[in-house]
Amino acid sequence: MEGTEKEEIGRDEDFGGRIPEAHGRTKEEKETLKKEAAQKKIQNNFEKTELSDDAELMKERERLRKERKDRSAKRLEKRKKEFRKKLYIACGGIAILLLSLLCLIRFKAASPNHIPKQNENSTAESVQLTLVKQLSEEEKTKLESYAKEEGGIELHFLNPEIGEEKIKSEILSLKTDLILGGEEQNVNFLSKLSEEEKIPYLATTFVPKDSLREHSYCLSRSAEDQAVDLSFFAYNEAFRSMGILLPEGKADLLSKEITEAFQELGGVVTVYSYTSEDDFRAKLSELETAGIDILFLEYYNEEANTILAEEHNFTVLLGEDWDRAAFPGDTKLQTNCLLYGKNTKNETVSDSEISEMETSSPEQESISSTQVEEESEATSSADSVLSIVEDEQVGREKDAIAILQIALKNKGKSLMEKLSDLQYQGIDGTYALKAGDYALKGKAVFYEIIDNKRVELS
């Protein structure tokens, strides 16, 4: 039964006008429309909420941007203030320096009579250098002349045979500023003395690492460097079985390092010992029976010299202790001999070792350049090599004197400060001084003894 028009209108109003075009629809269609309207309302609310969240996020981003911008501005302003402060300090320092320089110039100009002459060297102002080493009179004369070339150094000589107590007494009475040299038997004593008396010590011969102290500099190569030089040379010369002959009780660091290095290359090493009472013919027979093809003799002495006076079926390799004026000289040599030189050849030194080479005097540069020229010609003539060796028997001591002369020109309160980190290109090679360490750098030099003359091996 159909209702009146008023009743139909009333039904539409019951939906509050929320369901459009509901008139004439079934109950199911009305329910569907109602659900769609509800979902649409939920979607609208969700979109409003999402828009609200986006707005909050944008506000937070803007706030963070502003904070970062403020912090950047503050840091920039702080850096500007610091830069201005440093600039003011630098300008003030420069102004004070210029003013001091101006005052100094005026003072010197006003009192010219008080300016010392450049070549004036009084005994009181000279550096006292004490050399502890056995030297011939000719060698002493050469070193004294070399030390006087630029002046400022007074050289004293002490024989190491006088005993440790006498050496100490003489060094202190001479008011020694620097100790130089040292023989094998007293390098440890001199290193200890230099530490006790705070006197710098330049050792011209090898010093064991545990004997090097804070006031000592060794103008030689380390045992590790020497072992590498000797092992590579012997192995590259096709020697595979090495014997090392040492005085009894002399199992030193170098022999241990050579043993390790040569074995790492694939060779075999056997260490033998001897005493002055041994029958050397029996000892030589033992070495030959062992089948070695090269024998290393580290120390120069009369017992070892007897080995060189006879023929053998092995080659003898001599350590740097044999690189001295008396050898080979008139030494009787019946066996093939190779010599490991004290000097080194120039080579490129790494930045970590030498950052900047010191400028040497014209005389020192002349010596260095002459040495390079002579070395380049050495392989072509045994006589030229011999002359070089004879001229450079005190090369390490000359290098030490030149190093001291350079140090005296350096800045520093004490002589130790002036010596530290000093670099020098000398007769025996390139030196990079470091307290308590080894200074000599460069490529090893080996000689073959032919007719009692040294011939450099390329």
Q: Summarize pLDDT for 398-428 with one digit per residue, the tens.
A: 888 889 889 888 887 888 888 888 999 888 8
pLDDT for 247 equals 82
Residue 47 has pLDDT above 50, yes or no: yes
- Rounded to an integer, the average pLDDT of 237-254 is 84
pLDDT for 53 equals 67
- Letter for the amino acid at 395? G
CA 349 from chain centre, in angstroms, equals 9
* Contacts of 311 by beta carbon, 8 Å cutoff, 6+ apart: 334, 335
| H-helix or E-strand spanning residue 58 | helix 27-110
pLDDT for 426 equals 87
Model confidence band, residue 25 (pLDDT cutoffs 50, 70, 90): low
Residue 76 has pLDDT above 90, yes or no: no
Helix 164-173 with 187-197: angle, nearest 10 deg:
40
What's the rounded Cα separation, in Å, for the pair 248 and 185? 15
Helix 382-391 with 362-378: angle, nearest 10 deg:
150
pLDDT for 108 equals 67
- Rounded to an integer, the average pLDDT of 317-331 is 85
Residue 2 has pLDDT above 70, yes or no: no
Q: Are 213 and 191 in contact (CB under 8 A)?
A: yes
pLDDT for 373 equals 45
What's the rounded Cα separation, in Å, for the pair 143 and 27? 128
Cα distances from 132 to residues 141, 403, 424, in angstroms, run 15, 17, 22
pLDDT for 24 equals 60
What's the rounded Cα separation, in Å, for the pair 319 and 340? 5
Query: What residues does 339 pair with on adjacent strands?
Result: 318, 447
Q: Considering only CA atoms, which of 310, 361, 360 is closest in space to residue 337?
A: 310
- Rounded to an integer, the average pLDDT of 372-380 is 42
Query: What residues does 383 pair with on adjacent strands?
Result: none
pLDDT for 377 equals 44
pLDDT for 258 equals 92
pLDDT for 260 equals 92
Whole-model pTM above 0.75?
Answer: no
Residue with the bigger pLDDT between 193 and 28: it is 193
pLDDT for 87 equals 86
What's the rounded Cα separation, in Å, for the pair 288 and 10? 135
pLDDT for 379 equals 39
Supply the mean pLDDT for the chain.
78
Count CB atoms within 10 A of the CB of residue 293: 17
Model confidence band, residue 392 (pLDDT cutoffs 50, 70, 90): low
What's the rounded Cα separation, in Å, for the pair 426 and 398? 8
